[in-house]
Structure 1
Amino acid sequence: MYDVNELLELALKEIENLNYNEVFLLKELFRGYEWNRIPRKDRLLLGTLFLNHINRYGGKVQPIEKTTSGQQKYKIKKENKK
């Protein structure tokens, strides 16, 4: 199995397959069986690392509200052209 930093890199790469305005949860960036094989403590850490990365580096992902179960939702936005 991957370590948490490798999982973070996989999740960040998977974002490229999403469309503008698409809303997603972190776990949706992985196949169901892959997500279920990640130990709970690592999933929680991955969620924190992913949110911190998004808040720090921005890009085209924006955190939005949380679900009723406390999972962070994200939305793909237009990237700023510099």
Structure 2
Amino acid sequence: MDDLNSLLKTAVDETSHVWEGETFLVKDLFKGYEWNRIPKGDRLMLGSMFLSYINAHDCHVSIADKGASGQQRYKKH
């Protein structure tokens, strides 16, 4: 779980690089090779953790919609 908490912190920190009005997926907050190295089960858990985090904290990120692949999209505001 420590690894997932570390990945969550990385994801939350990376939202500072997203422009206002821009939509993104959690995987967009990681370099491609980093995201691909995270086991699929951990990626799913990270997505749930990120959703819970943004709902509980004022981090200027809101839920946008679901993408074509069913992944949750977020919007920076």
State the TM-score bracket (shorter-chain normalisation). over 0.9
Output the TM-score relative to the length of structure 2: 0.94
- Greater relative contact order: 1 or 2 (C-alpha under 8 angstroms, separation 6 or more)? 2
Structure 1 segments, 4+ long, off by >4 Å, are none
Give the drift of 1:44. 0.3
- Calculate the aligned-residue CA RMSD, in Å: 1.1
Paired-residue identity, %: 49
Letter in 2 for 1:38: I
Question: How many residues are aligned here?
Answer: 76
More helix by share: 2
Give the drift of 1:58. 3.1
- Using the alignment, how far apart are the partners of 1:56 and 1:36 within structure 2? 27
The structure number with the bigger radius of gyration is 1
The answer to whether the aligner puts 1:20 opposite 2:33 as a matched pair is no
The alignment partner of 1:64 has SS state of strand
- Give 5+ residue unaligned stretches, structure 1: 78-82
- Give 5+ residue unaligned stretches, structure 2: none
Q: Name the stretch that deviates more: 41-50 or 54-63.
A: 54-63
